[in-house]
Chains A and B, each alone.
Chain A
Amino acid sequence: MEFKSVVGWRRSIRFFDPWREVEREKIQTILEAIYRAPRVLEIDFVRVVVVLRDELSADEMQTLKTPTTTAQLDMAPVYIFFFADLEAIEPACRGDNFRQLINMGVLNPSHGWTEEFAVGTAGQYIRTILDDEDRVPLRLPVGGDSATQIVSREALRLARTAIGIAQEYALLAAVDEGLGAQLSGVNVGAARGILGFPDTWVPSSPMLLGYHGETIEAGGQRPREPFEEDFFELRYGHPFYREPAVVDRLKAAEMIQDPAPFSWRMDEVRGLARKFGLPD
């Protein structure tokens, strides 16, 4: 699909056909897209775990649910969990990745990149982030657990940025593969027990993945606040002028689509409730 079309057709899909498996090659394609995503400060933060719903026990499924996320977990056949491994920062402080990029001609002396700069200046910059004094527990202690890591908020900032980039690549790749997807909350403590991820991994919302159980329009593009609330030019408070001709071009390219709600959406939702035996 054309990139703009992919952006335009993305919705947070909450109805999946639960009986239709996702082909493994499509799952790998999504992972390969994440693999190509830019790294924050060239740190290899991202870790991803693919979970097939049908390989979970009924108890595991139940514990993953929260009061706000349930039916979509039952419907989606695949969950893709995203993490950022804080242990990846240490090699970056040593300049390992920078050195590799210098050798490959990605980073060059024209921009000041030398062995000395990689290890000294750049590595030290990351070290400052890692050692920043504003620190928080990586997770809330459970029971008598006192082993929770205390990490700098600045390191978490980078980690969550890396996760967000990976998630967006995954969502778009899913749409490009003709799949529906949604980032959804789950019980993180339960996920830790099921997936067995290390304490150094910062968790985030998994992506639920499957074939659409609803129309791909899903009621229309979700509404947004005015463009001028979010984007500014030269300084905060001076909105970036939104040129209508550009909006028209993006509508023609299917990136900007008719906003929700469609007139028939509520009928569709009631129909979907009947389709899956859910309440209305």
Chain B
Amino acid sequence: MAEIDSADVRNAESTRRWLSSRQDLWGASANNDTLIETLTRFCQFAGKSPDEMVDDCLRPGKAGETLTLRTRARRQYMDLIELFEGAVRSRPQGNIARSFLIHNGIAMNPGILP
């Protein structure tokens, strides 16, 4: 697949949902360019677009109105973020990737820092 760039990431529906949810919860000052830059880096690391990652973890329920969490995919992304975090040597960057998934409805639960 073609290299994912920050414009693709910024324009993805799931990215807009993420930023909007963060703004609702934390206020406008919570969002900055670092978020997009880091998410882009993580997308490149995973080889997936933002929407693809969310779709991997949530599938439409039988009624179509709700979503069902795919636990195995969620687990895979939790592991992938840990690898990413190790590669970039930054918990904050790993947490940006987690924040993206959380605000899209996928619970991410890293261990706490000692």
Contact = CB atoms under 8 A, between A and B. Distances in A.
A277 B107 contact: no
Interface in B68-113: 69, 71, 74, 91, 95-96, 98-99, 102, 107-113
Contacts, number: 46
B107 A68 contact: yes
Given A67-B69, A270-B30, A277 B109 contact: no
Interface in A243-280: 266, 270, 273, 276-280
B95 A279 contact: yes
A10 interface: no
B112 A74 contact: yes
Interface residues of B, number: 22
A71 B112 contact: yes
Contact of A74 (B22, B71, B111): B111
A75 interface: yes
A79 to B, nearest CB: 16
A266 B71 contact: no
Contacts of B91: 277
Contacts of B95: 273, 277-280
19 contacts: A67-B69, A67-B109, A68-B107, A70-B107, A71-B110, A71-B112, A75-B112, A266-B27, A270-B26, A273-B95, A277-B110, A277-B113, A278-B112, A279-B95, A279-B96, A279-B108, A280-B26, A280-B30, A280-B95
